[in-house]
C-alpha cells in the first residue's frame, strides 16, 4: 500500500490506487488548502521531502519550473509512485499551520442580509488578493480611515473560490462598531479587514463523531467548521445544537435544514429558551445535553458563544465523559465591556 507521510509529525495516510495526495489526505480528515482541484491555482502547493510522484498536467503559473526544481508539487494532481511520499505539511501534532495575518485588507460589501432584528450578515470580498484562512478563525473589522474601533468577528463560511467572507454581526447597544455596521454599511461600502486570527480550527484529523454547541452569533464559526467538514465528505456524524431565545432567533435556518436533507450524517437540533414550539427542545443546552447524549466520551466537542454559555456547556460535556483534549471552545465577550477589548475571544481546548 502506498502511503503519504506528513512532516514533521510523522503521521501516515494510506493512498488508494488512483487517488491524488489531496484526495487521500481528505479521506483521512486532513484539511489541506485547495481551491480549483485542477492544477491551476496553486493553493495546494507543498514541498515534497522524499519519494516520487506523477505531477500530472498543471499550469506553469500555479507551479513554476523553479518551484518544481525545489521539490514543490500541487497535491490536487500529484499521485504517489513509490511506497512512501513524504511531504511538508502541518505541525508536530499534525495540526495545520496557520496562515500569516495580513493587515488593512481593503474589502467591499457585496451583499447584506438582515438575519434577525439584531443580526446582520455581511458578504465581503477583498479588492485584491483573497484572504487565506482556516474555518473557525476570525478577522478584525474597521472602516478604511480606521476611525471606527476595530472589532473581531468570526468568519461564518469555509474558504470559497471567489474569496467571499461572511460575517454575522449582532447590534450591541453601546457598541460603536456594531452600530456603524448596522447603520452605515450596505452593498458597495468599503471597509478594512485584518487577519486571520485564532486557533478555533479543531483537529482536522479527528475520526470521532462531532458535536457542535452554539448560541447567538457563536453559530458563525460553527457554520464555517461544519461547512468545511461536509464539503470534504467527513464520514462521521456531525450534530449541531443551537440555542436561541425564540424561533425567530434561529437564523440561517434554511441552510441548516438543507444540510439536514443533503447530508445523512448531519443533524441540526434547535433549542429554545424563552418559548415552546412543537418539534423543538425547550431549555438551555447544558441542561438538555444529558438526555440527548448520555455518553460523550468518544466525541469531539466544539463550543462557541458567550463565556457563560461556553463554561456551562464545557462542564456539562465533561460530566458526560467528554475528554479535555477533545473539547474546543471559543467565547465571545460583549462589546460593551470597557475593561475587555471588544470582540476578544476566549480560546482553549487545543
- CB-CB contact of 99 with 133 (8 Å): yes
- CB-CB contact of 122 with 169 (8 Å): yes
- 172's grid cell: 450591541
**Dihedral sign of CA atoms 152, 98, 346, 245 in order:** positive
Low-confidence ranges of the chain (pLDDT < 70): 35, 202-206, 332-350
d(CA 109, CA 209): 36
d(CA 171, CA 283): 24
Q: E-assigned strands of the chain?
A: 2-7, 12-15, 45-50, 53-54, 72-74, 79-80, 84-88, 102-114, 119-126, 138-142, 151-154, 165-170, 190-197, 210-215, 238-244, 266-272, 281-282, 300-305, 327-332, 345-348
For 118, the 3-state DSSP assignment is coil
d(CA 148, CA 138): 18
Tell me the CB-side half-sphere exposure of residue 213, using CA atoms within 13 A: 31
Residue 26 CB contacts under 8 Å (≥ 6 apart), including other chains: 32, 232, 233
Residue 220 CB contacts under 8 Å (≥ 6 apart), including other chains: 153, 154, 155, 156, 166, 167, 168, 304
In the prediction, which pLDDT does 348 show? Answer: 31
Residue 24 has φ and ψ, to the nearest 5°, of -65, -45
pTM for the model: 0.79
Looking at the chain, the whole-number percentage of residues with pLDDT higher than 70 is 93
In the prediction, which pLDDT does 32 show? Answer: 83
In the prediction, which pLDDT does 332 show? Answer: 65
Residue 205 CB contacts under 8 Å (≥ 6 apart), including other chains: 11, 28, 29, 30, 94
In the prediction, which pLDDT does 161 show? Answer: 82
Q: What is the pLDDT of residues 169-207, one digit of tens each?
A: 999 999 999 999 999 999 999 999 999 988 888 665 567
In the prediction, which pLDDT does 160 show? Answer: 87
In the prediction, which pLDDT does 344 show? Answer: 33
Residue 248 has φ and ψ, to the nearest 5°, of -65, -20
Amino acid at each position: 500500500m502506498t502511503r503519504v507521510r506528513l512532516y514533521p509529525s510523522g503521521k501516515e495516510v494510506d493512498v488508494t490506487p488512483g487517488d491524488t495526495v489531496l484526495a487521500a489526505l481528505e479521506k483521512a480528515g486532513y484539511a489541506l488548502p485547495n481551491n480549483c482541484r485542477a492544477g491551476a491555482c496553486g493553493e495546494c502547493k507543498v514541498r515534497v521531502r522524499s519519494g516520487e510522484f506523477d505531477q500530472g498536467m498543471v499550469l506553469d503559473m500555479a507551479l513554476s519550473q523553479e518551484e518544481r526544481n525545489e521539490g514543490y508539487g500541487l497535491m490536487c494532481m500529484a499521485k504517489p509512485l513509490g511506497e512512501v511520499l513524504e511531504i511538508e505539511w502541518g505541525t508536530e501534532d499534525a495540526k495545520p499551520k496557520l496562515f500569516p495575518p495580513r493587515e488593512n485588507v481593503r474589502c467591499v460589501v457585496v451583499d447584506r442580509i438582515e438575519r434577525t432584528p439584531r443580526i446582520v450578515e455581511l458578504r465581503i470580498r477583498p479588492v485584491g488578493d483573497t484572504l487565506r484562512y482556516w474555518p473557525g478563525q476570525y478577522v478584525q473589522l474597521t472602516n478604511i480611515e480606521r476611525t471606527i474601533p476595530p472589532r473581531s468577528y468570526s468568519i461564518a463560511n469555509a474558504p470559497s473560490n471567489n474569496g467571499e467572507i461572511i460575517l454575522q454581526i449582532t447590534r450591541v447597544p453601546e457598541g460603536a462598531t456594531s452600530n456603524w455596521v448596522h447603520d452605515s454599511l450596505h452593498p458597495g461600502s468599503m471597509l478594512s479587514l485584518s487577519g486571520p486570527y485564532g486557533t478555533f480550527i479543531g483537529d482536522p484529523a479527528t475520526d470521532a463523531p462531532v458535536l457542535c454547541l452554539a448560541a447567538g452569533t457563536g453559530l458563525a464559526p460553527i457554520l464555517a467548521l461544519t461547512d468545511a467538514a461536509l464539503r470534504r465528505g467527513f464520514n462521521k456524524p456531525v450534530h449541531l445544537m443551537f440555542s436561541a431565545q425564540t424561533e425567530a432567533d434561529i437564523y440561517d435556518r434554511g441552510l441548516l435544514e438543507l444540510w439536514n436533507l443533503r447530508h445523512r450524517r448531519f443533524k441540526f437540533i434547535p433549542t429554545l429558551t424563552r418559548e415552546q414550539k412543537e418539534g423543538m427542545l425547550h431549555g438551555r443546552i447544558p441542561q438538555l445535553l444529558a438526555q440527548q447524549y448520555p455518553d460523550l466520551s468518544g466525541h469531539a466537542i466544539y463550543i462557541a458563544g458567550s463565556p457563560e454559555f461556553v463554561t456551562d456547556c464545557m462542564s456539562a460535556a465533561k460530566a458526560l465523559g467528554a475528554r479535555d483534549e477533545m473539547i474546543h471552545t471559543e467565547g465571545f465577550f460583549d462589546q460593551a465591556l470597557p475593561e475587555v477589548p471588544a470582540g476578544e475571544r476566549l480560546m482553549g481546548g487545543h
